[in-house]
Amino acid sequence: MLELFENGGPVMYPLLLCSIIVMTVIIERSIYWVILDMRRDRSLVDDVLELCRVGDWESVRKKASGSKDYIIRILVSGILHREFSMSKAMESTAADEIKEMKRFMGILDTMITVAPLLGIFGTVIGIITSFEVLGTTGIEHPRAVTAGIAQALITTATGLGIAILSVFPYNYFNSRVENAASLIEKYATSLEIVYEKLPLSSGIKTKNTK
């Protein structure tokens, strides 16, 4: 591996940096989503919606207190601003949550694009080196010529390898963000429907508002 790295020429150093950045982002995002899943409390979300259905805001406050579930945080934001603009409050909080979920995804996307370009750049340098050697020494020293060709192939393979291995986690993380956004929309809509039905179903829309 070390020999391949050395044979790849100077472009291997930025490619190494790209691979380190990619691995760092993948590990950080994987840990983030594992923790996010561990903090999910679906039963609490259902309990909060049920309490909202009867307008028991004080119980909602007690139950949701200290919860780290991002769905709960969004619902609580809407509940706290229910007398002003519930939907806009939830929309603002949801935007913050989605922004956190998308953190570093731009970096990963950039690495997917940059790594193959660096590989091609290394290829061009390797071919130029081969032609320079060929023009200087002729065909009497084929090893010198093939060294440049080897450099070209190594950097191309490395750049493509980094990009290919980055695409899978990138698409996975993006799918997680999309699923979370759908889930947020689902529960936010449920809360709005429950709140709108309060005056019709129980007439206690203002119960325990203090």
C-alpha–C-alpha distance, residues 135 and 145, integer Å: 10
Q: Which of these ranges, 48-57, 60-69, 71-80, 135-144, has the smallest mean pLDDT?
A: 135-144
pLDDT at 210: 38
Does 99 have pLDDT greater than 90? yes
Segments making up each domain of the chain, as ranges: 11-100+110-201
| Under 8 Å between Cβ of 49 and 190 | yes
- Its sign, for the CA torsion 158, 118, 25, 165, is negative
C-alpha–C-alpha distance, residues 148 and 74, integer Å: 57
How many Cβ atoms sit within 10 Å of the Cβ of residue 24? 13
Q: Which of these ranges, 15-19, 49-53, 75-79, 195-199, has the smallest mean pLDDT?
A: 195-199
Reference 152, options 9, 2, 14, 6; nearest CA is: 9
Q: Which of these ranges, 71-85, 121-135, 150-164, has the smallest mean pLDDT?
A: 121-135
The residue type found at 111 is M
pLDDT at 111: 96
**Mean pLDDT confidence for 69-97:** 92
Does 197 have pLDDT greater than 90? no
pLDDT, tens digit, 9 for 90 and up, residues 8-49: 788 999 999 999 999 999 999 999 999 999 999 999 999 999
C-alpha–C-alpha distance, residues 152 and 10, integer Å: 11
Strand ranges in the chain using DSSP code E only, listed in sequence order: none
pLDDT at 184: 95
